[in-house]
Amino acid sequence: MTTFLESLTPLVDRAAIATTHKWPSYVSKDDVSQEIWIWALSRQKSIEKAFLTEDWEAKVYSTMLRAASEAASKEDRETNGYSKDDTYVYSAAVIETLLDSAFTYEDWQSFATFGDGQPRAKGQVNETGDYVAMMSDVKSALAEIEKKYREILYYRHGEHMTTIEIGEELGITQGAASKRHTAAVNALRGKLGRVELSDLQSGFSDRRGAIGNGEARAITDRQYEG
């Protein structure tokens, strides 16, 4: 009878080779293979159940490729000194800060009726420069994510409800509300785009300057001066 390790070894080798061909030479096949095995062994029971299904190799290999890609990405980040958050145009912290301002716009919940996907703004002073462009990016991306994600972002950043209050409003647990909020921010971040890996591998060239959460909040405060 073929063992778990024997069944997976050819797939691990294929996934590691296919993945490392897409990355610079410092992303090694051996390191990626090791990470795939860690992934596979942590899911051994689930994978063994998959063995009983038709076309299990294709199903397992497809999932394994995603694990291999993450392993290669991890090695590239460690080599070049950037974080996973840097692979997005906007960090999660900056998005949340922008959301706190985005939901100060009137008629937010009915913005789709205007036909342009944008809410109608209350008058604000000193809205100039890069911050306005960032706000525009976030508002446009909000129109593209799922309704359930827009809803929870509105509750959290528009109504400033706690995850406990949101859970009660939606009829879910606080933990589920927190996870949905995280998923919503990630969905929004995905719509806002990814940074070219070549930029990250060459020292963050040609990118919008990153700002931290504290700096973003300071910019937000300045929007309301006067």
Check residue 211 and give its pLDDT: 47
In which band, very low, low, confident or very high, does the pLDDT at 120 lie, cut at 50, 70 and 90? Answer: very low
Write phi, then psi, for 129 (nearest 5 degrees). Answer: 70, -155
Judge whether residue 89 has pLDDT over 50.
Answer: yes
- Give the range among 41-50, 63-72, 106-115 with minimum mean pLDDT: 106-115
Gyration radius (Cα) of the chain, Å: 22
98 burial (CB, 10 Å; 0-12 / 13-18 / 19+) is buried
pLDDT score of 38: 96
Tens of pLDDT along 56-69?
A: 999 999 999 999 99
Which pLDDT score is estimated for 119?
Answer: 47
Portion of the chain with pLDDT greater than 90, in percent:
50
Residue 131's pLDDT band (cuts 50, 70, 90):
confident
Residue 220, CB-side half-sphere exposure with 13 Å CA sphere: 19
Q: What is the pLDDT at residue 98?
A: 87
Q: Is 118 left (phi over 0), alpha (psi -120 to 50) or beta?
A: beta
Query: Which one of 29-33, 89-93, 98-102 scores highest in mean pLDDT?
Result: 29-33
Encoding tokens for residue 188? 């929004």
Q: Which residues of 44-60 are buried (b: 16+ CB within 10 A; e: fewer)?
A: eeebeeeeeeeeeeeeb
Average pLDDT over residues 134-163: 91
> Minimal CA–CA distance to 223: which of 120, 91, 135, 117?
135
What pLDDT band is residue 170 in, cutting at 50, 70 and 90? Answer: very high
Query: Using one digit for the tens of pLDDT, what is the confidence trace for 186-215?
Result: 999 999 888 888 878 865 443 344 445 455
Tell me the H-state helices in the chain. 4-20, 29-42, 44-50, 56-80, 92-102, 130-142, 147-153, 163-170, 174-192, 197-201, 213-223
pLDDT above 70 as % of the chain: 77
Query: What domains can be seen in the chain, in order of their start residue?
Result: 4-81 (no CATH), 87-223 (1.10.10.10)
